[in-house]
């Protein structure tokens, strides 16, 4: 896993080459809404991308993480199917349902049944390199979502320069990122992480939570400020030094949320002494998001090593898929 995370900056660079070379077709009907369907390591790119384009895309973007598709899906819906393996059963069923409803479909996958379906039905298909854990291929899969939206006239091509700069930022700051990650991983060892982000960065917080789950083999939770100030904040009552609070920060966060973070910190400090700020680097939203993803990926990997766990192993999920393979109806 460490080698895969090391390769993330180069993966972003390669993803741009794949997106630029992709062959896509124009929709026959005017697009009115967008659905990105995918789960786990394949789906989190949709969650992050939907937030990153919220200020750029005039149409609503819905992220779907289940077997079915919303009722609004039809011939004026752009449906992006994201499954790294191409065999995710929930996403495969959602693909078939979207196809039957006449949606404009683009598939992003490394192969499998979804690639076969796309070729059989003449759907747009972007293939990304195979042979890795899906969660280690976020750079490949998420970048393609921007190309798809741009090709369909839903955003302009601003993102290409942002991804290029992000690649350079991550490559140049590699040593610093790894050093920060190790220090934070040591602080989290033996703790239950509680991750807080602000609007626009919930996807990054979810990604961090998922990586701690899969790589580090621990439980944790996340929430978003200001929403958590209306509910979860009241739950901070009892001293519990097993908790570690992590704030995902960036210099452009809304000033009222900054004050909320400081108040939340004061409340949480009464319960635990482990409070960590993780600051994003970069100018654009894409740079900042990728920086945080890269840094927190390392944290999850280093924490796995500190806990003597194999970061790649996900036998319990493999077991679930095996069980479901035997379910007929």
* Residue at which a domain ends, from 97, 131, 164: 164
Phi, psi (rounded to 5 degrees) for 328: -95, -30
* Residue at which a domain ends, from 127, 142, 164: 164
Note the pLDDT of residue 271.
98
**Model confidence band, residue 130 (pLDDT cutoffs 50, 70, 90):** very high
The CA distances from residue 47 to 18, 114, 156, 183, 204, in Å, are 21, 20, 19, 28, 8
Task: Report yes or no on 319 lying in a domain.
Answer: no
| 131, 234: one domain | no
| 8, 47: one domain | yes
Looking at the predicted structure, is the pLDDT value of residue 16 above 90? yes
Note the pLDDT of residue 329.
73
Two tokens at 285? 């939203």
| 14, 157: one domain | yes
| 114, 205: one domain | no
Looking at the predicted structure, is the pLDDT value of residue 132 above 80? yes
User: Which is the catalytic residue, given 3, 26, 230, 328?
Assistant: 230
| 149, 191: one domain | no
Q: How far apart are CA 150 and CA 169, in angstroms?
A: 24
Task: Report yes or no on 293 lying in a domain.
Answer: yes
Note the pLDDT of residue 307.
97
Task: Report yes or no on 323 lying in a domain.
Answer: no
Note the pLDDT of residue 303.
98
Q: What's the DSSP call for residue 124?
A: E
Note the pLDDT of residue 325.
86
| 57, 83: one domain | yes
Phi, psi (rounded to 5 degrees) for 171: -65, -45
19 burial class (0-12, 13-18, 19+ CB within 10 angstroms)?
buried
Q: How far apart are CA 249 and CA 120, in angstroms?
A: 45
| 219, 260: one domain | yes
Report residue 241 CA to chain centroid gap: 29
Strand order in the sheet with 221-224: 221-224, 192-197, 243-249, 275-279
Strand order in the sheet with 61-64: 61-64, 33-37, 77-83, 104-109, 124-127
Is 321 a residue of the active site?
yes
Q: Which domain holds residue 109?
A: 2-164
Task: Report yes or no on 72 lying in a domain.
Answer: yes
Task: Report yes or no on 316 lying in a domain.
Answer: no
| 160, 15: one domain | yes
Note the pLDDT of residue 211.
98
Q: How far apart are CA 118 and CA 203, in angstroms?
A: 28
Two tokens at 45? 């790119």
Task: Report yes or no on 328 lying in a domain.
Answer: no
Q: How far apart are CA 241 and CA 269, in angstroms?
A: 10
Note the pLDDT of residue 302.
98
| 15, 157: one domain | yes
Instruction: State the total domains in the chain.
Output: 2
User: Which is the catalytic residue, given 186, 251, 259, 321?
Assistant: 321
Per-residue model confidence as pLDDT tens digits over 222-264: 999 999 999 999 999 999 999 999 999 999 999 999 999 999 9
* CATH code of the domain in which 66 resides: 3.40.50.10490
Helices (H), the chain: 2-6, 8-21, 40-52, 89-100, 112-121, 138-151, 158-172, 174-188, 202-211, 255-269, 285-306, 315-325
Task: Report yes or no on 329 lying in a domain.
Answer: no
Is 230 a residue of the active site?
yes
Note the pLDDT of residue 126.
98
Q: Which residue has the tokens 């369907």?
A: 37
Note the pLDDT of residue 232.
98
57 burial class (0-12, 13-18, 19+ CB within 10 angstroms)?
middle
Is 251 a residue of the active site?
no
Per-residue model confidence as pLDDT tens digits over 29-59: 899 999 999 999 999 999 999 999 999 999 9
pTM metric for this prediction: 0.96
Positive or negative: CA dihedral 178, 180, 181, 182: positive
| 160, 189: one domain | no
| 205, 160: one domain | no
Note the pLDDT of residue 328.
79
* Residue at which a domain ends, from 130, 164, 198: 164
| 152, 208: one domain | no
User: Across all residues in the chain, what is the average pLDDT?
Assistant: 96
Per-residue model confidence as pLDDT tens digits over 135-180: 999 999 999 999 999 999 999 999 999 999 999 999 999 999 999 9
User: Which is the catalytic residue, given 202, 214, 281, 287?
Assistant: 214
């Amino acid at each position: 896993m460490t080698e895969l995370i090391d390769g993330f900056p180069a993966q972003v660079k390669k993803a741009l080459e794949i997106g630029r070379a992709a062959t896509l077709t124009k929709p026959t009907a005017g697009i009115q809404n967008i659905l990105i369907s995918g789960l786990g390591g394949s789906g989190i790119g949709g969650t992050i991308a939907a937030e990153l384009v919220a200020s750029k895309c005039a149409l609503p973007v819905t992220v779907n993480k289940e077997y079915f598709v919303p009722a609004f899906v039809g011939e004026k819906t752009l449906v992006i199917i994201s499954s790294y393996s191409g065999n995710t059963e929930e996403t495969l069923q959602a693909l078939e349902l979207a196809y039957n409803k006449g949606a404009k479909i683009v598939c992003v996958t490394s192969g499998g049944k979804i690639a076969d379906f796309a070729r059989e039905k003449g759907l747009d298909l972007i293939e990304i390199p195979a042979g890795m854990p899906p969660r280690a291929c976020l750079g490949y899969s998420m970048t393609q979502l921007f190309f798809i939206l741009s090709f369909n006239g839903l955003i302009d091509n601003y993102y290409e320069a942002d991804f290029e700069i992000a690649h350079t930022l991550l490559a140049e700051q590699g040593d610093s990122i790894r050093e920060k990650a190790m220090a934070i991983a040591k602080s989290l060892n033996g703790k239950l992480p509680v991750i807080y982000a602000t609007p626009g960065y919930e996807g990054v917080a979810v990604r961090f939570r998922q990586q701690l789950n899969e790589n580090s083999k621990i439980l944790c939770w996340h929430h978003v400020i200001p929403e958590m100030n209306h509910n979860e904040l009241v739950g901070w009552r009892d001293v519990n030094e097993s908790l570690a609070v992590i704030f995902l920060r960036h210099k452009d966060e809304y000033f009222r949320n900054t004050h909320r973070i400081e108040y939340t910190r004061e409340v949480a400090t009464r319960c635990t002494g482990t409070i960590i700020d993780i600051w994003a680097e970069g100018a654009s939203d894409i740079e900042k998001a990728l920086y945080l993803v890269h840094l927190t990926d390392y944290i999850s990997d280093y924490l796995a090593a500190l806990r003597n766990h194999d970061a790649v192993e996900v036998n319990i999920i493999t077991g679930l898929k095996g069980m479901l393979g035997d379910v007929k109806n």
